[in-house]
């Protein structure tokens, strides 16, 4: 591939590349969930994105199409693409850092759909709808992420408050936007529908446990032969070294003679002063019915703010050979993360 073909490719897909740049830059640069500056970073992304969307519609409303305005429109569109990616990454990165693919796969689908739409939609009217839809997705996740922090807990009531706040701010934004240009005025009914529909759809995914329980994130999780708490309050984890490509498949745990059970250890990142009931739910896979059967539930009281996360472990005795998983839940409902593993017994 010669330099000219690379240039033409980048030019043709520039908006999508900028969108991905905004997303992946934060994938590496965003601080941990319990860092106080995190919520301000996310808020700044949303504010900048909202301002850029408003300014772009104001440019369109002038209807002069001068060379300067065309350049300004292009720059604003690139800015919208970058901060759309950054706004989405704010919550997607935390959710996907914490949970297994079996828990966070709906987020990947949403992200892929946003990327595909960003690549193929170029007509302004449809682009307008896409951009505000992405903004509302980011706004809803931001509210779901931060409102529990304000209340220092996660409950169904707090979650409903978060959804309500995101709907109100989304509708206020559409009201402001429709006064900027004729296009925005005619698109306002669709905008109001998105302002209500997008948060409710995300809320439905959350209630159905199809997305992780932000703002909590599973910082570390593993299966061990033994877990010992030292006098200094640290945890000594005794187990098999992970395989080369273990992250691509289920962990294989071997029970050796003399082992008194299987241990599951987890570390959960949570904001300071955050408290919630946490549980380790042990389940085994029944091959005859192809379903997961709950075996044991062990509960804890989480206290947030620790740099290494809230640490806890549970022990399963008399475990049978086969496929198992431990699901970390908050309030016995919302999934924080999950670890799947296969148990075999050493002869």
pLDDT tens sequence across 10-25: 545 566 666 666 666 6
Whether pLDDT at 102 is above 70: no
* 224 in any annotated domain: yes
Same domain, 109 and 251: no
pTM over 0.75: yes
Q: 112 or 225: which carries more pLDDT confidence?
A: 225
Q: In 3-state terms, what secondary structure has residue 343?
A: strand
Whether pLDDT at 154 is above 90: no
Rounded to the nearest 5°, which phi and psi values hold at 29? -100, -20
- Domains held by the chain: number: 2
Same domain, 202 and 85: yes
Domain boundary, last residue among 207, 237, 260: 207
* 299 in any annotated domain: yes
* 166 in any annotated domain: yes
* 212 in any annotated domain: no
* 327 in any annotated domain: yes
Q: How many CB atoms lie within 10 A of CB 200?
A: 13
* 104 in any annotated domain: yes
Same domain, 172 and 226: no
Q: What is the pLDDT of residue 185?
A: 84
User: What is the spatial distance between Cα 332 and Cα 65, in angstroms, rounded to a whole number?
Assistant: 57
Same domain, 239 and 200: no
Provide Rg for the chain, Cα atoms. 23
Same domain, 241 and 302: yes
Domain boundary, last residue among 172, 207, 242: 207
Q: Which domain holds residue 62?
A: 3-207
Q: 137 or 216: which carries more pLDDT confidence?
A: 137
Same domain, 36 and 140: yes
Rounded to the nearest 5°, which phi and psi values hold at 307? -60, -45
Rounded to the nearest 5°, which phi and psi values hold at 49? -60, -40
Q: In 3-state terms, what secondary structure has residue 302?
A: strand
CATH of the domain at 274: 2.60.40.1930
Q: Any residues with CB less than 8 A from the CB of 171 and at least 6 apart, and which?
A: 192, 195, 196
Write down the mean pLDDT value for the chain: 80
Same domain, 115 and 183: yes
Same domain, 61 and 173: yes
Same domain, 334 and 222: yes
Whether pLDDT at 165 is above 70: yes
* 129 in any annotated domain: yes
Question: Which range (10-19, 81-90, 158-167) has the least confidence?
Answer: 10-19
Q: In 3-state terms, what secondary structure has residue 244?
A: coil
Same domain, 11 and 144: yes
* 300 in any annotated domain: yes
Q: 131 or 170: which carries more pLDDT confidence?
A: 170
Q: What is the DSSP string of 278-329?
A: EEEEEEEEETTTTEEEEEEEEEEEEE---TT-EEEEEEE-SPPSEEEEEEEE
Same domain, 159 and 29: yes
Same domain, 88 and 192: yes
Q: What is the pLDDT of residue 7?
A: 45
pLDDT tens sequence across 235-267: 888 887 665 555 555 677 777 777 778 999 998
Domain boundary, last residue among 144, 174, 207: 207
């Amino acid at each position: 591939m010669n330099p000219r073909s690379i240039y033409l490719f980048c030019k043709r897909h520039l908006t999508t590349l900028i969108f991905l740049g905004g997303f992946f830059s934060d994938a590496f640069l965003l601080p941990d969930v319990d860092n106080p500056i995190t919520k301000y970073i996310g808020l700044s992304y949303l504010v900048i994105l909202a301002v850029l969307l408003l300014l772009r519609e104001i440019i369109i409303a002038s209807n002069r199409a001068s060379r300067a305005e065309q350049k300004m429109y292009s720059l604003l569109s690139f800015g919208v693409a970058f901060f759309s990616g950054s706004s989405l990454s704010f919550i997607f990165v935390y959710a996907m850092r914490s949970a297994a693919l079996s828990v966070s796969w709906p987020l990947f689908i949403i992200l892929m759909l946003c990327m595909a739409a960003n690549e193929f939609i170029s007509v302004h009217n449809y682009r307008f709808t896409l951009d505000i839809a992405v903004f509302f997705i980011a706004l809803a996740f931001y509210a779901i992420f931060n409102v529990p922090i304000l209340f220092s807990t996660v409950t169904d009531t707090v979650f409903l408050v978060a959804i309500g706040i995101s709907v109100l701010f989304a509708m206020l934004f559409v009201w402001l936007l429709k006064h900027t240009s004729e296009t925005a005025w005619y698109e306002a009914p669709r905008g109001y529908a998105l302002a209500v529909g997008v948060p409710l759809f995300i809320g439905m995914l959350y209630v159905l446990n199809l997305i992780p329980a932000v703002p909590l994130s599973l910082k570390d999780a593993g299966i061990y032969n033994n877990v010992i708490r030292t006098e200094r309050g640290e945890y000594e984890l005794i187990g098999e070294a992970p395989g080369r490509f273990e992250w691509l498949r289920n962990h294989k745990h071997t029970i050796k003679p003399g082992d008194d059970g299987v241990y599951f250890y987890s570390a959960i990142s949570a904001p300071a002063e955050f408290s919630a009931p946490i549980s380790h739910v042990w389940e085994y896979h029944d091959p005859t019915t192809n379903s997961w059967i709950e075996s044991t539930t062990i509960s804890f009281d989480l206290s947030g703010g620790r740099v290494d996360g809230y640490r806890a472990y549970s022990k399963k005795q008399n475990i049978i050979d086969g496929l198992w998983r431990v699901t970390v839940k908050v309030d016995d409902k919302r999934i924080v993360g999950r670890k799947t593993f296969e148990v075999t017994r050493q002869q």
